[in-house]
Amino acid sequence: MNTITTRDVQAEAWRLNVLEAGDTEAPAILWLHGSGPGVSARSNWAELVETMPDYHHIAPDVLGFADSEHPEDLPAGVGASSVTRVDSLFALLDALDVHKTHVVGNSLGGMLAILMLQRQPERFDRVILMGSAGAPLPPSENLIKMVLYYTNESPDAMENLLQHFMHDTSSFGDTLREVAKERAEFAARSDIRRSHERTFTPEPTPLFFTAEQLGEVDHEVLVVHGREDSIISVDASYYYAKHLPNAQLHVLPHAGHWVQIEQASRFRALAELFLSEGASATGGQA
């Protein structure tokens, strides 16, 4: 088991709270979580980074989420805020002296990963997109519920929302309500609410990736999606698999938006096999 540590890192103008594990001299993996009220790197990735040896795991709370900085001037809208978040993530890699890394992006984190590939492709080795946002599809009913959570926030509303992130909530046993209560309390922080509302301010031109843009990404990409995902349709990953030149698609049954929780062992096996085929990502070496 890898030991997890957390620390604040000053990445140029931004303070990011970073979860790390593994050997800093080993190949690096940058883990980018999704959006949603109360989300954090630890809630998304802890089980995986603890149980995947041979890597330097870097899992930040993305700017404007959890215990990272929540800038009052965070640009409004998913597209504009994503540009600033990508700026902060590159600054984080520079601060950690990481010149090349694999990257794993879940939901909004997948969108951020693609933006990073477009800007500095040479800094990335292999890429995993899991339930990734950014495909030109209409938002699902449950994604809209997530976006509008703060219009009627409560532990009950959080419990209802969490149920939609999974196909089968039995993995939480009888604790789902307790988990929802704790997450609702965390999400009620004024800075977290402000960042969520700024992120999802309506914008005239939503951020989607065209077939032409994806066709320019020549990285090896593993596209993973839960078949029963009701937050972001599996059609999004079919779109990515069709237009990314070097993509392979794995659709996992009996899984919703949180594949890394509901199908952790399967996802870990897929990721380890895929990443082991690309051996050039190193933590401190160019």
Q: Taking the CA atoms of the chain, what radius of gyration do you get in angstroms?
A: 17
Type and span of the H or E element at 273: helix 264-276
30: Cβ contacts below 8 Å, ≥ 6 apart: 58, 59, 89, 93, 98, 101, 102, 103, 104
Angstrom distance (rounded) from CA 90 to CA 134: 20
Angstrom distance (rounded) from CA 133 to CA 129: 9
Contact 245, 215 (CB under 8 A): yes
Going from the C-alpha of 59 to that of each of 8, 28, 62, the distances in angstroms are 12, 10, 9
Q: Reduced to 3 states, what is the DSSP secondary structure of residue 242? A: helix
Q: Write down the catalytic residue from 35, 40, 88, 107.
A: 107
For this structure, is 73 an active site residue?
Answer: no
Angstrom distance (rounded) from CA 271 to CA 92: 23
For this structure, is 257 an active site residue?
Answer: yes
Residue 24 — φ and ψ, nearest 5°?
-65, -15
For this structure, is 229 an active site residue?
Answer: yes
Q: Write down the catalytic residue from 33, 82, 229, 230.
A: 229
Closest CA to 106 of 218, 223, 13, 12: 223
Q: Give catalytic residue positions.
A: 107, 229, 257
